[in-house]
């Protein structure tokens, strides 16, 4: 078997990431050696592979669904927004520069098609099947000429296309029909059919519409996936992931201790890797919320300043909002504050930034004895260490180089009283360390909170991935899906006018 499939969507957030992960987990349980692939990802949530390459978190999660190590080939192009009109371009895991949207779509993107096709070919040569994820909609007719992630990659590699639509939003039939009808004949020939996502109710009530859709397009529906709470793990930039702690169903086990622990995460501009707090949200008795006003910190037992692609901009935002003063008061009162990556940098004494914001010398909040200098080379590592007597694993993604001049060492950062700072993302996924840290926070906050002794974040993640696999296995036509992956799009699919403009 040397199969492949592109999972496209009628819109952004139609469910492409989770459907791709579900298909991957279903296949691997059938004994298929499978890999995920997304030619181009735009996200501030990223991950570092073992070889030191930066890729989207969604592809790292999908690799876990496949039970394989993530590699740069699974996401050869990553765009990390730095503002309204520009992004850092990460090519095969390494940053190659900043580019405006006009510059990227004006020629650079098209030249990358060969690179992404080579990465896809590399994966197909070493796996039985590769399940590819598209981006946005394949019917973005203004971008089709330079497309390398939807129909561009499908046509370049001869992949069949499954279009996912979110019926919970409404208008799914019009979206399915319109998606196909706006594609060129050569692209339409690869669109094999549809997958309905997030359906609530009796499927039999949907069947007349599915029959009419088949009659209008000549394409079948490969499944109707029911609405399920808490399935959106490690997607691109949707705050609902961490906000709801969706590594579990919405019903979370009750706390072990007498109190809950309230955690406020400052929703700074260009917030990155906010998935760091998912492991906290998975703990029974921990309440995580994102905040943007100083009064929302008043009842928080822990305030987290998360990572950001704009450290200086985030610092200015905290000051403008009054959050900087509120955080400083907390630190003075020995109430817990944790800064991660960019959040750690802005807690320091000063920042020298001639790279990210080009602001030069900027005073930080002065809560940690740290001086930060931005380097043009990005740090991309997977460190392992110890803190609070527990083994910790993490990953680092930053241009800022921190010089720690005092304080108590903490994960290559430092701690002063109850103010903590580290560049390590993902550290809270280490169960023993997370529990030890939460005990420290609870003690400092005067809360009778007790971490659950057997919460395993890795096990919860595996449960989630198995639930995604179950969703495909139980609610999709897996025999037809197998044939599609193995043999490609059916021959003779009809053209639906008007098609894409020339």
The answer for residues whose C-beta is within 8 angstroms of residue 260's C-beta and 6 or more apart is: 285, 286, 287, 447, 449
Under 8 Å between Cβ of 185 and 144: no
Asked whether the CA dihedral 168, 171, 173, 177 is positive or negative, the reply is negative
Distance CA 192, CA 68 (A): 28
Question: 340 — phi, psi (to 5°)?
Answer: -120, 125
H or E element that contains 322: none
Residues in CB range of 411: below 8 A, 6 or more apart: 383, 385, 387, 392, 394, 422, 423, 424, 427
Residue 498: cis peptide before it, omega within 30 degrees of 0: yes
Instruction: Classify burial at 200, counting beta carbons within 10 Å of its beta carbon; exposed 0-12, middle 13-18, buried 19 or more.
Output: exposed
Q: Catalytic residues, which ones?
A: 341, 425
Q: What is the DSSP letter of 107?
A: I
**3-class secondary structure, 49:** coil
3-state secondary structure (DSSP) of residue 95: strand
- Per the CB < 8 A criterion, the answer to whether 455 and 284 are in contact is yes
Contact 383, 362 (CB under 8 A): no
**DSSP helix/strand/coil, 254:** coil
Rounded to whole angstroms, the Cα distance separating 65 from 60 reads 9
* H or E stretch at 439: helix 431-445
Q: What are phi and psi of 312, to 5 degrees?
A: -65, -40
Instruction: Give the whole-angstrom CA distance, residue 116 versus residue 370.
Output: 40
Q: Which two tokens stand for residue 7?
A: 């999972």
Torsion of CA 245, 247, 252, 257, to 10 degrees: -80
Alpha helices by DSSP H, 226-321: 240-243, 278-281, 311-321
Q: Rounded distance, CA 46 to CA 235, Å? A: 10
Q: Which two tokens stand for residue 332?
A: 């003075």
Query: Residue 44 is encoded by which pair of tokens?
Result: 């501030």
**E strand residue ranges, 111-160:** 129-133
Tell me the C-alpha distance between 499 and 139, whole Å: 10
For the record, the structure tokens of 425 come out as 């993302």
At residue 188, φ and ψ (nearest 5 deg) are -55, -35
């Amino acid at each position: 078997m040397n199969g492949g499939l592109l999972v496209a969507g009628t819109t952004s957030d139609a469910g492409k990431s989770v459907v791709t992960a579900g298909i991957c987990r279903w296949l691997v349980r059938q004994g298929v050696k499978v890999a995920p692939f997304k030619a181009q990802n735009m996200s501030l949530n990223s991950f570092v592979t073992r070889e030191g390459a930066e890729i989207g978190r969604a592809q790292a999660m999908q690799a876990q669904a496949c039970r394989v190590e993530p590699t740069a080939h699974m996401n050869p192009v990553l765009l990390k927004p730095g503002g309204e009109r520009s992004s850092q371009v990460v090519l095969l895991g390494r940053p190659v520069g900043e580019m405006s949207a006009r510059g990227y779509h004006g020629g650079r993107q098209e030249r990358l098609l060969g690179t992404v096709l080579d990465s896809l070919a590399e994966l197909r040569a070493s796996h039985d099947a590769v399940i590819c994820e598209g981006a946005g909609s394949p019917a973005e007719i203004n971008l089709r000429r330079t497309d390398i992630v939807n129909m561009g990659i499908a046509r370049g590699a001869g992949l069949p296309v499954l279009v996912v639509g979110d019926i919970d939003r409404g208008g799914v039939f019009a979206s399915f029909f319109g998606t196909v009808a706006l594609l060129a004949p050569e692209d339409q020939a690869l669109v094999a059919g549809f997958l309905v996502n997030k359906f609530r109710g009796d499927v039999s009530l949907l069947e007349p519409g599915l029959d009419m859709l088949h009659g209008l397009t000549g394409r079948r529906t490969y499944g109707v996936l029911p609405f399920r709470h808490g399935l959106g793990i490690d997607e691109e930039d949707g705050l609902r992931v961490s906000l709801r702690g969706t590594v579990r169903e919405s019903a979370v086990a009750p706390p072990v201790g007498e109190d809950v622990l309230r955690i406020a995460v400052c929703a700074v501009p260009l917030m990155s890797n906010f998935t760091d707090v998912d492991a906290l949200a998975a703990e029974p008795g921990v309440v995580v919320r994102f905040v943007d006003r100083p009064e929302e910190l008043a009842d928080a037992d822990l305030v987290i300043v998360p990572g950001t692609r704009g450290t200086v901009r985030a610092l200015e935002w905290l000051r403008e909002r009054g959050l900087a003063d509120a955080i400083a008061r907390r630190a003075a009162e020995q109430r817990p504050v944790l800064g991660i990556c960019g959040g750690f940098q802005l807690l320091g004494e000063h920042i020298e930034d001639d790279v990210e914001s080009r602001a030069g010398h900027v005073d930080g909040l002065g809560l940690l004895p740290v001086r930060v200098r931005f380097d043009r080379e990005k740090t991309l590592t997977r460190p392992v260490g110890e803190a609070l007597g527990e083994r910790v694993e993490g990953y680092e993604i930053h241009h800022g180089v921190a010089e720690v001049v005092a304080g108590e060492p903490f994960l290559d950062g430092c701690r002063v009283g109850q103010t903590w700072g580290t560049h390590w993302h993902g550290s809270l996924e280490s169960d023993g360390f997370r529990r030890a840290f939460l005990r420290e926070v609870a003690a400092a906050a005067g809360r009778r909170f007790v971490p659950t002794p057997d919460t395993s974040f890795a096990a919860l993640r595996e449960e989630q991935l198995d639930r995604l696999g179950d969703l495909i296995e139980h609610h999709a036509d897996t025999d037809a899906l197998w044939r599609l992956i193995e043999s490609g799009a059916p021959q003779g699919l009809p053209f639906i006018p008007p098609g894409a403009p020339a």
